[in-house]
Structure 1
Amino acid sequence: MINSIIKGSGKYLPNIKIPNDYFLTRKFYDSDGQPLVKSNKDIVATLQKITEIRERRYLEDNLMTSDMAYFAAKEALDSSGIDAESLDYIIVAHNFGDILPDNKRVDICPTIAARVKHKLAIKNPYTVAYDLPFGCPGWVQGMIQANYYIKSGDAKRIMVIGAENLSRISDPHDMDSMIFSDGAGAVILEALEQKEPVGIINHLTRSDTLEHAHLLTMGASYNKDYPDSTLFLKMNGRKLYEYAIKTVPTTLKTCIDRSGIPLERIKKVLIHQANAKMDHNILDRLFHLYGDAPAPAGLMPMSIQELGNNSVATVPILYDMVAKSSMEGHAFLTGEYALFASVGAGMNINAFVYRHP
């Protein structure tokens, strides 16, 4: 049996830390262009209470998304001891490509994956490099695709990267901008021939576009006096929250049930770090579906408090932190199962059950 296991991981966290106080002097407007009535102090306090975000990371002006992806990739290669020339694929999940600080236009020519391969100086022409735009669930989807390649016999080693630079595509006059941050995470998935199933055991993806395709979109600044027509990331937060807590738990349950693994054997849940209140609600609802609630403490490591929501990068960064024992109270143990999951623009939801070799 061919299994897909994680051989190594890496991450890049920008050096610029942005505390909540940073937004106290910001001018915020509603979607109609009217100044918000609440004081910034109250707005920031409410955001922290709901999301638990205390600070986030912003990318340095001299770097771009492809740089973060490269740094994470280099660390993953170093931690695994793998020769980069032996990679069959490099899959980079992102949504906005490289964005200059003073020119907020999407740049994906060449692809971010091609740029990463170039920066790694890989000569092998059969290391196939491509991008995957799939909203926040992009990295999880990349892992699912990589698993298919490996189990089909088409590949033995695949690097899957999630990298995002949301700070440059967020409207400075939209209070939702306080949620977003930057970062990158990478893992190397490797084929392992073994009779006992390990690695990615089962996966599931769904796309709800009929009614929910536009919960995350691009739009002009809420500030009607903004100097140009730059498009920024816009989010229907209330509708998105309602969709997530209704749909994600049932999707995760289906994935778990199809894997044949009892819920109690899953010892870690690595879920997209979008909103702490939402994530806790999703987990409790999942356990409620099994007649078991609330979820036990310590099951779901959280990074959003210090790192914010960096989209496709949140889950691989979270994995790297736990795998390298940099998150107190959390570790991966041989033979234990973990659930990886994400939800985001599209709207897309995906998950996979993973057994640590």
Structure 2
Amino acid sequence: MPIYSIITGSGKYIPEIIVKNESFHNRNFINEKGEKLEKPVPDIVSKFQEITDIQERRYLNPELNTSDMAFFAAKDAIENARIDSESLDYIIVAHNFGDILHDNIKSDMVPTLASRVKHKLQIANPDCVAYDLPFGCPGWVQGIIQANYFIKSGDAQRVLVIGAENLSRIADPHDIDSMIYSDGAGAVILEAKESEKALGILCHKTRTDTLNEAHFLKMDISYHPEFEDNTLFMKMNGRKLYEYALNTVPALVKATIDKSGVPIQKIKKVLIHQANAKMDEAIIQRLFKLYDQRLEDSSSIMPMTISKLGNNSVATVPTLYDMIIKGELENHHINSGDHLVFASVGAGMNVNAFVYLVP
């Protein structure tokens, strides 16, 4: 009998510190040329909210780190699935910067965050393999894709896939893009299920573009010419990234849906990386246009959390799923028999998606 991968539990960790847009009104914003932006800062912040829909975001407490968030989300998912953590075959942690101390913003990735999570969970089983996956914002989706391969090959019965990121500590305080970034973690338990009928993960697709696109997201020094040191911060070519996403994500998602054989009309939810509300809206509209369909209102099919949680990279999609499945997102529900699309785009540049049939 065929083996499929199904989600049996989910969890998340949303940091306690709420940072509203008004908190940025005293910032000294500078452009990539080292010049102070001429517009009044409140006007810059207002325009930023209009484009991204971000009203507030969450920052991690100073005494905590990325691996702590990953552990909290993992524990939540394990309890939700009602499983013994010793039964896990793999722990995959998607992230991009490792642990970053509040007062020493350098990436710490030894040991891996996955090993740290396994240690925090006090798992003794040596056959539980723990490893990290740095793949830009699409890292968690790619972790699910890898876990699915382990399960379908018979190598695993149960996999924990986590997405955790602490972007607030690697954001240039003088860059307006710093207002986008936030912190958080999400996780799911993926398990093997024998079934005569297809269910769970039906298919997937991933692409990587590097010829001209590799450095749309990169690390570089502060825009402020008199910044105190040469600390590296995450930098984004917003215009190029926006164009790339619109040119690649809708086509890749369509190819994934077509591969599954599921009609677009049967897709109940598109859980997309919470990068930028305007960009995500353009992506979903272009996707339906590729099917010669007109989408009057995207709010029912494309749930959004970015207005309150910001963009926490690999954590956006699993957190979004967990909130819906636990009834924490108003007007959104996931039911047995629903077809879902999970999709993401980010540094690399990478784009991926999978189609999921809820058992």
Aligned to 2:168: 167
Kindly indicate whether the alpha-carbon contact (under 8 Å) linking 1:57 and 1:182 is maintained by their aligned counterparts in 2. yes
Q: Is the 8 A contact 1:266 1:339 kept in 2?
A: yes
Match of 2:294 in 1: 293
| 1:192-203 map, 5 Å | 192-203=193-204
Matched, 1:188 2:186: no
Instruction: Give me the whole-angstrom Cα distance separating, in 2, the residues matched to 1:62 and 1:348.
Output: 32
SS of the aligned residue for 2:32 comes to coil
Separation (CA, whole Å) in 2 of partners of 1:68 and 1:207: 28
Contact 1:136 1:312 in 2 (8 A): yes
SS at structure 1 position matched to 2:242:
helix
> What is the SS of the residue equivalent to 1:212?
coil
Q: Is the 1:283–1:295 Cα contact (8 Å) retained in structure 2?
A: no
Give the distance between the partners of 1:50 and 1:245, measured in 2 at CA. Answer: 15
**Pairwise CA distance, 1:296:** 4.2
Helix, strand or coil: the match of 1:53?
Answer: coil
**Partner letter of residue 320 of structure 1?**
D
Pick one of 320, 323, 341 that aligns with 1:321.
Answer: 323
2:343 maps to which residue? 341
SS of structure 2 residue aligned to 1:162: strand
Q: What residue in structure 2 maps to residue 276 of structure 1?
A: 277
> What SS class does the counterpart of residue 131 from structure 1 fall into?
strand
Aligned to 2:64: 63
Distance 2:54 2:233 in 1: 21
Paired position in structure 1 for 2:86: 85
Q: Does 1:240 align with 2:241?
A: yes
Cα RMSD of the aligned pairs, angstroms, is: 0.6
CA offset digits 1:178-210 (Å, max 9, x no partner): 000000000000000011111000000000011
User: How far has the Cα of 1:294 moved from its partner?
Assistant: 2.3
Any idea what the Cα deviations from partners look like across 1:33-88, whole Å, max 9, x if unmatched? 11011111111011100000000000000000000000000000111101000000
- Tell me the CA shift for residue 293 of structure 1: 1.7
Secondary structure of 1:45's aligned partner: helix
2:308 counterpart of 1:306: yes
SS of the residue 1:35 aligns to? coil
Checking the alignment, whether the CA contact within 8 Å between 1:285 and 1:293 is kept in structure 2 is no
The one-letter code of the counterpart of 1:322 is I
What is the rounded CA distance, in whole Å, between the counterparts of 1:152 and 1:262 in structure 2? 28
Quick one: distance in 2 between partners of 1:326 and 1:37?
41
Secondary structure of 1:210's aligned partner:
coil
Q: Report 1:29-48 matches (<5 A).
A: 29-48=30-49
Partner of residue 73, structure 1: 74
Q: Between Structure 1 and Structure 2, how many residues are aligned? A: 357
Q: Separation in 2 of the partners of 1:74 and 1:195?
A: 32
CA deviations over 1:98-156 (Å, ceiling 9, x no partner)? 00011110000000000000000000000000000000000000000000000000000
Unaligned runs of at least 5 residues, structure 1: none
Q: What is aligned with 2:356? A: 354
Residue 295 of structure 1, CA deviation: 5.4
Gaps (5+ residues) in structure 2?
A: none
8 Å Cα contact 1:218/1:233 also seen in 2: yes
TM-score by length of structure 2 reads: 0.99
What percentage of aligned pairs have identical amino acids? 63
Alpha-carbon distance between aligned partners in 2 of 1:309 and 1:103, rounded to the nearest angstrom: 22
Which one-letter code corresponds to 2:239 in the other structure? R
The one-letter amino acid of 1:338's match is L
Alpha-carbon contact 1:90-1:158 (below 8 Å) kept? yes
Is the contact made by 1:208 and 1:346 (CA closer than 8 Å) also made in structure 2?
yes
SS of the residue corresponding to residue 306 of structure 1 reads helix
Name the aligned partner's letter for residue 53 of structure 1: I
Classify the secondary structure of the residue corresponding to 2:212. Answer: helix
Residue 226 (structure 1) aligns with: 227
Letter in 2 for 1:317: T
Q: How does 1:3-14 map to 2 (within 5 A)?
A: 3-14=4-15
| DSSP-derived class of the 1:256 partner | helix
* Aligned residue number for residue 19 of structure 1: 20
Alpha-carbon shift at residue 236 of structure 1 (Å): 0.1
Aligned mates of 1:182, 1:295 — CA distance in 2: 32
